[in-house]
Amino acid sequence: MDILALNCGSSSVKYQLFDWEKKEVVAKGMVERVIIGDSFILHEVPGRETYREDSECPDHQVAIDLIIKTLLDPSHGVLKDINQISAVGHRVVHGGEMFTRSVMIDEEVLNAVKEVQHLAPLHNPPNIAGIEAAQALLPKVPHVAIFDTAFHQTMPEHAYLYPLPYDWYEKYGVRRYGFHGTSHLYVSKRASVLLNKPPCDCNIITMHIGNGVSHCAIKNGVSVDTSMGLTPLEGAVMGTRCGDIDPAIPAFMMQKENLSAKEIDSILNKKSGVLGVTGGRFTDRRDVIEHANNGDRLCRIALDIEAYRLKKYIGSYMAAVGRLDAVVFTAGVGEMGWPIRERAIEGLEHLGICLDKERNKGAMTRKRESLITTDDSPIKVFVIPTDEELVFTEDVAAILAGTYTDHMNFTYSFASKDFVRK
């Protein structure tokens, strides 16, 4: 059984084809610049060179059609027949309060996703377009929705409600939802294995740090708080998003610069964060680290701000979960950015976190799970490469088999001591 995982963004479609029987990735890749022009596909097959093809994709259906054609291509593909695809798993960023677990997509589910797209106007519309496009191209196979927000639906009211007029929540659903749920799920389950404890006995802080950044406080195996809120704009410093700021700043700057609501929203989401602090030059932390090391003042400040905010989230989430077992860094920057990890962790010895600087510098791979604290550190810190697509695949396979319940009760393969990442 081959399962296709799709992650449709506003101008891209990521995909992965997984052989369920062999438990291995058959192919993966991405179509970039969908809708905006000069589109192309990058297609990776283990043991082969990466294949690139330029092909205009004016919409997501054309992009997914290109993916299918590439998978079936006699020279570059891996499938002989489209019927080898047994099911499709779709990432859906926002499920509102309705979805606490992955579900089979039917008309009712799709309509429910459409009803909450105003909560994620940059993400849900392309997710929906991808589902409808894939259903049109693969009408005979089951399609499953995997929600970013589902993992965080265990948060208590005092964590997800904002101190705002309560009828905003009742009328418009204004509350904290959280995102990157599949990533937080995967790395927290893997951390419990490394701790040699069942997930329900683990208190963990997971830190997903890429261009988008979110943190999660996990108590007894479930999410009790997370840094992103109603939208992915709240929380930590990100590549282009500001994260937590004084809420009066947008209105203040709208008056000073005569900006519209749409313009200020674009600035906070696309021109702030690391990009904003570095004067509009960098989002890639490798560039920021290199220029900071060469004396660039703004890059040094950007690193200091990001690391300081990370440190504060660790402290606040320790207060939220009580006894802490581990902190986990994941995603691109979390897995590769050792200087940012060092800045965030150093000085926390009084809280029971003792960094091993050499271990931290050596944890520069997206293929290996690493301990970066000392052996006698009361609280462990791990670097764990995330695998959201594996969560998609296992949810899909379990739903098809009728064995899936939810992330709290379902036993994932990667939560086993015998699991080997391929």
Give the tens place of pLDDT for each residue, 1-43: 899 999 887 778 889 999 988 888 999 999 988 888 889 999 9
> Is residue 37 a contact partner of residue 56, using CB atoms and an 8 Å limit?
yes
Catalytic residue among 2, 65, 148, 395: 148
- At 246, list the tokens: 């004084």
> Is residue 219 a contact partner of residue 322, using CB atoms and an 8 Å limit?
yes
CA distance 187 to 331: 10
- Would you list the DSSP string of 19-66? ETTTTEEEEEEEEESTTTSS-EEEEE-TTSPPEEEE---SSHHHHHHH
CA distance 121 to 133: 19
Domains of the chain, start order? 2-147 (3.30.420.40), 196-383 (3.30.420.40)
Report which of 54, 25, 41 is spatially closest to residue 390, judged by C-alpha positions. 25
Given a cut of 80, whether residue 154 has pLDDT beyond it is yes
Q: What is the pLDDT of residue 22?
A: 87
Task: Give mean pLDDT, residues 147-153.
Answer: 93
pLDDT by residue (tens digit) across 62-88? 999 999 999 999 998 999 988 899 999
Give the pLDDT band (50/70/90) at residue 92: very high
Which range (46-60, 163-177, 187-201) has the least confidence?
A: 46-60
Q: Tokens 């904003």 sit at which residue?
A: 276
Q: Tokens 């006894």 sit at which residue?
A: 323
Give the pLDDT band (50/70/90) at residue 334: very high
Q: What is the pLDDT of residue 5?
A: 92
Give the pLDDT band (50/70/90) at residue 280: very high
Q: What is the DSSP letter of 272?
A: -
Given a cut of 90, whether residue 409 has pLDDT beyond it is no
Which residue has better confidence, 96 or 192? 192
CA 388 from centroid of its chain's CA atoms: 7
- pTM, two decimals, is 0.92
Q: What is the pLDDT of residue 241?
A: 92
Give the H or E element holding residue 67: helix 60-72
Q: What is the pLDDT of residue 125?
A: 86
Given a cut of 90, whether residue 408 has pLDDT beyond it is no
Q: What is the pLDDT of residue 315?
A: 96
> Is residue 102 a contact partner of residue 157, using CB atoms and an 8 Å limit?
no
Please give the share of the chain, as a percent, with pLDDT higher than 90. Answer: 73
In which order are the strands placed within the sheet that holds 12-19?
51-54, 40-44, 24-32, 12-19, 2-8, 85-92, 143-147, 103-104
Q: What is the pLDDT of residue 120?
A: 77
Give the H or E element holding residue 214: strand 213-219
Give the H or E element holding residue 389: helix 388-401
Give the pLDDT band (50/70/90) at residue 216: very high
Q: What is the pLDDT of residue 12?
A: 83
Q: Tokens 């999660």 sit at which residue?
A: 216
- Residue 77: CB atoms within 10 A of its CB come to 18
- At 240, list the tokens: 């282009």
Given a cut of 80, whether residue 421 has pLDDT beyond it is no
State the chain's mean pLDDT as an integer.
Answer: 92
- At 274, list the tokens: 């690391």
| 148 catalytic residue (yes or no) | yes
Q: What is the pLDDT of residue 185?
A: 96
pLDDT by residue (tens digit) across 106-138? 999 999 999 888 777 778 888 898 899 889 888
Tell me the pairing of strands 24-32 and 143-147.
Answer: unpaired
> Is residue 224 a contact partner of residue 321, using CB atoms and an 8 Å limit?
yes
